[in-house]
Amino acid sequence: MARLVLKFGGTSVADIARIRNVARHVKREVDAGHQVAVVVSAMSGKTNELVGWCREASPIHDAREYDAVVASGEQVTSGLLAITLQAMGVNARSWQGWQIPLKTDGAHGAARIEDIDASEIVRRFGEGQVAVIAGFQGIAPDNRIATLGRGGSDTSAVAIAAAVKADRCDIYTDVDGVYTTDPRIEPKARRMARVSFEEMLEMASLGAKVLQVRSVELAMVHKVRTFVRSSFDDPDAPGMGDFDNPPGTLICDEDEIVEQQVVTGIAYAKDEAQISLRRVQDRPGVAATIFGPLAEAGVNVDMIVQSVSEDGSATDMTFTVPAGDVAKAEGVLDKAKADMRYDVVQSETGLTKVSIIGIGMRSHTGVAATAFKALANRGINIRAITTSEIKISILIDGEFTELAVRTLHSAYGLDKA
């Protein structure tokens, strides 16, 4: 017998028929003798509808009331799934975040989990009861409902798995696992059996949409073994109930990965923009003068390249931001021009960041050279490069995105079984 947390996303619970299918997945695990908690998202499209209603009521609205509205989507789904399970003869009840309680900080709309008292849910496991929990929500210090930000149900599921000391957290979604790259771009992309927390964290932050970044961070910190699998597979198909080796991708500690590839996957993030400050006076503290105000304004700066003039008196500072933050960034830079002491700002949109990820990079040389050579052979110009212990990120023109992804995927042999 194991203790499992199962999470189902919006497409998995989009209507009553799909909720019944989810209930069959849950019942399969209950019938196998496992203790089960389920975390659900709102029905597909419902959160967007609720957000739209808030904006229609008032473009500028109280974040606490916003949370009260948008959290209702998960409340509906949890109640419907509990009803469906009960009709199948499964002992189940729904839980809202405040009933557990799942305690958050006071940042309504983007709250962070601070504590979970899962003792009552664990006690009811002993009675054979399934907890059906509304994801994406908790209770803030002001005793108001607080939501965790978009994709927060993933974070809820991993946090609850840690709190109940689950053997595994299964994230059911509309894909059947984590692939070496986007299968829509590279048909030869392969589903990985296992991927490390660190690699998944890089993939999630660099464009892979399988899991929310915060949920992967939480899983890594608490060592929650997390399984990504498809809710659209037949719940009763052979192998679906195999606890040790179900279909999908296991995200785990790298110690569990016996054979580590040099490169695990290729991720990409479109809609990147490049901003360059020309002829900045080169002096101590210049970087802090530039990037401090950008950070305070909430502009997410990524790749940074600095080139100093021959006489050392001036420098060009180039960095990337999401395309949607260009106007905000330029406003901050213009406002602080006197302090930053630069001549001119130049910006360019329509760029893509392609990243090569793999824990095997730590012990292998030539990984970057392989990428540069492969891209050069395809005539793809590199605008900027950043590296870390398990990642190489390359900035290119957006029109070459698909070609670059396919080229790199092949260069590292990821298209071979």
Binding residues: 7-10, 47, 74, 173-174, 179, 184, 209-210
Query: Which residues carry a binding-site annotation for ATP?
Result: 7-10, 173-174, 179, 184, 209-210
| Residue 231 contacts residue 8 (beta carbons within 8 Å) | yes
Report the candidate in 171, 179, 173 with the shortest Cα–Cα distance to residue 199. Answer: 179
Q: What angle do the packed helices 72-87 and 46-57 form, to 10 degrees? A: 150
* CA torsion angle 190 191 194 199 (round to 10): 70
Q: Write down the number of H helices and E strands in the chain.
A: 13, 18
Interatomic CA distance for residues 117 and 160, integer angstroms? 9
Report the candidate in 408, 362, 407, 363 with the shortest Cα–Cα distance to residue 388. Answer: 362
Report the candidate in 180, 184, 191, 186 with the shortest Cα–Cα distance to residue 403. Answer: 186
Interatomic CA distance for residues 384 and 165, integer angstroms? 43
Whole-Å CA distances, 152 to 42, 67, 216, 330, 379:
11, 13, 11, 31, 41
Query: Which residues carry a binding-site annotation for substrate?
Result: 47, 74
